[in-house]
Amino acid sequence: MTQTTKANNGSEWHGTTIISIRKGDKVVIAGDGQVSLGDTVIKANARKVRRLGDGSVVAGFAGSTADAFALFERLEGKLERYNGQLLRACVEMAKDWRTDRYLRRLEAMMIVVDKEVSLVLTGNGDVLESDDGILAIGSGGNYALAAARALMDQDLDAEQVARQAMGIAADICVYTNNNLTVEILEAL
The domain 4-181 belongs to what CATH superfamily? Aminohydrolase, N-terminal nucleophile (Ntn) domain (3.60.20.10)
Residue 115 is classified by DSSP as: S
**C-alpha closest to that of 89 among 101, 71, 105, 77:** 77
Work out the pLDDT band at 13, boundaries 50, 70, 90: very low
Mean pLDDT, range 111-131, rounded to an integer: 92
Closest CA to 96 of 63, 73, 116: 73
Which residue did the predictor score with more confidence, 187 or 74? 74
How high is the pLDDT of residue 125? Answer: 82
Write down how long the chain is: 188
- Higher-confidence position of 106 and 65: 65
The full set of domain ranges for the chain reads: 4-181
pLDDT in tens, 148-159: 999 999 999 999
Query: What residues are labeled active site?
Result: 16
Q: For 25-82, how does the pLDDT look when each residue is reduced to its tens digit (9 = 90+)? A: 999 999 999 988 888 898 999 999 999 989 999 999 988 777 778 888 989 999 999 9
Buried b (16+ CB within 10 A) or exposed e, 13-36: bbbbbbbbbbbeebbbbbbbbbbb
